Chains A and B, each alone.
Chain A
Amino acid sequence: MKKLKPGASRPVLHRRNKRGQLGEIWHRIKKNKGAVIGLIILAILVLLLIVSLFMPFKLATGGSGKIRFTAPSWQYPFGTDNQGRNVFYRVIYGTRYSLAIGLGSVAFGLVIGTVAGSYAGYYGGKVDDIILRCSDVLASIPGMLLGMVIVTVLGTSVRNLIIAVGVQCVPQFLRITRASILTIKDNEFVEAAKAIGFSDNRILFTQVLPNGLSPVIVLISTTLGTVIILAASLSYLGFGVPVPHPEWGAMISSSRDFIRTQPYLITFPGLFIMITVLAFNLVGDGLRDALDPKLKR
């Protein structure tokens, strides 16, 4: 317990009342140690991303044969790889892929899943049945395999990897939105909106959906972590970002043959994947606790 100064309790109470809904959530996140660590890591990653945007592509892909397999040192903090490329630059440059693919595919799944899930939950009946069955079929194809096939068809590129991974986020978002809509659509304010003569779409997207978003928001942050791992795994298998691009999973894959002698080549990219995913998971946990006080003990 922190010692309160005399007379400090009243202003604190006062401030608590003035805090809005978002302010309250922010306050709860701030109190969560894990979430704060996660946010700090994410901030550093975004900073790295911004720095890397000013890096020329050549810096990450060009190397010289003279400095192949240099062990980590002050000059080359993460060493150099089989083509004499500076792994430190490559890792920094690679930040963009994981973040872009993570955010991109979650956005993909979010938009399709939320819209389809809203309709399914709101209309019920046949519409619900059809949409739900489609999503069930999609969910019953093992993710990695579907991702591999989609990338094979579309070709290896960042955009296609986003599609391949994003497709797999759809069923989750669909189900959670549908369930959330179901609990809300029978409320009186929905009935009131109907009575005023709002169109179905207007009711759904301005009245019902905004009230059912909190489970969706939690899902966004927890999905980001899994999506980044999935994308990195696809890249590792060769179904991801094409070769010269320093995506972390692809970097590990291309250094696989040298791990006996140059273990640092796989250590650093992997460490970065793990830290990124860890940050998203920490923030996701914090967000879940902040948005759903029932779960917090």
Chain B
Amino acid sequence: MLRYIIRRLIWLIPVIIVVSLIVFVLMELAPGTVVDAMMVEDMTPEQKAELLAKYNLDKPMIYRYGLYMLNLLKGDLGTSQITQVNVWETFLTRLPNTVVLAFSSLIIGAAVSIPLGILASRHAGSLLDNSVTVFSLFGMSMPIFWLGLLLLLLFSYKFGWLPGGGTREGIRSIILPAVCGSLGMIANTARQTRSNMLEVLHADFLRTARAKGVPESVVIWKHALGNAWIPILTTIGIGLSAQLAGSVVIETVFAWPGIGRLAVEAVTQRDATLATGVIILTSIMYVLVQLVVDLLYAFVDPRIKAQYTKYAKRRKRST
């Protein structure tokens, strides 16, 4: 198990190198530099040259990339070219907002979708089942920014129940973005849960369990769900990593100061250092969340845990 984790963590190194290379080169190729953004009308050529030299923009790109990677090795992501604040610090101040939002969406999503999916599968073909199917189809087809705007329109502007963005009102201000973020997850997970439950619902071991006199709720929640977990967990995991990494849209719609919003600001302002740093860190987070989800499989399904240990043993023997 530990070997597996280490192997997966080592995999982060090429990811970091390639991601940094791609994003760095792309940001370099982007028309206009940060100096153009900062230029004032009556700047003398000397002042401009001085500015260029300050950001090493007069030197070749490969030099700047080498310098960047060298600093990265030391754990230094540089400072933002516009605000002059350390990239790592900026990221850390924004991160909690994104994490809180992602986990709120996750909790709402899981709490609604799994029971919904189970209910639909147990009454397959009923009106309830059909409405769950239709609901998840619509949920999957809805652009999230549009849903966000509609929610704002209804609950904030029309009824005035909830704030229209920002983080000022604490728990009240997180409700709308979290609900908005959870809808896609609810749609996908409810569908996944339904189809996986349908697969196991007629399995022999459930009949055995019922014959033994196990209460129906235990049969469903423990025996059936226990065997249908893996694909459901995968769907939730994908949802969570998408939320953590790609909450760009929701954060923009609800003016939520998280890392997605930070990335948009950095890219729009051509702040290459900040953009590169944020995207590298987000990618690392993305890979780590996927690792955690993979590890969770082992906890919900003993068969997979056995696979990990078998794998480790085989490796030991071969080395």
Which of A233, A256, A282 sits near B137, CB closer than 8 Å? A282
Instruction: Report Cα–Cα, A238/B152, bound state, in Å.
Output: 20
A252 and B144 within 8 A (CB): no
Known: A141-B279, A144-B249, A237-B264. A225 touches B143 (CB 8 A): no
Instruction: Report Cα–Cα, A149/B267, bound state, in Å.
Output: 7
B197: shortest Cβ distance to chain A, in Å? 12
Residue of B nearest to A266 (CB): B149
Note all chain B residues with C-beta closer than 8 A to A278: 137-138, 141
Instruction: Report Cα–Cα, A170/B236, bound state, in Å.
Output: 23
Q: Which range contains the number of A residues in contact with the other chain?
A: 35 or more
B109: shortest Cβ distance to chain A, in Å? 18
Residue of A nearest to B157 (CB): A260
B149 and A153 within 8 A (CB): no
B-binding segment of A4-12, A118-126, A269-277? A269-277
B23 at the interface (CB under 8 A from A): yes
Count residues of B near A (Cβ-Cβ below 8 Å): 47
B248 and A259 within 8 A (CB): no
Residues of A141-199 contacting chain B, CB below 8 A: 141-146, 148-150, 152-153, 155
A-binding segment of B27-35, B61-69, B73-81? B27-35
Per-residue 0/1 for A27-60: is the Cβ within 8 Å of any B Cβ (1 yes, 0 no)?
Answer: 0000000100000000000000000000000000
User: Which 9 residue pairs across A and B have the least CB separation, nearest first?
Assistant: A270-B146, A142-B245, A278-B141, A277-B141, A137-B18, A144-B248, A144-B246, A153-B30, A236-B145
11 further contact pairs, Cβ within 8 A, besides A145-B282, A233-B249: A141-B23, A142-B245, A142-B283, A145-B248, A152-B26, A229-B144, A233-B143, A233-B248, A236-B143, A277-B141, A278-B137
Interface residues of B (CB under 8 A from A): 11, 14-15, 18-19, 22-23, 26-27, 29-31, 137-138, 140-146, 149-150, 152-153, 157, 198, 242, 245-246, 248-249, 252, 260, 263-264, 267-268, 270, 275, 278-279, 282-283, 286-287, 290
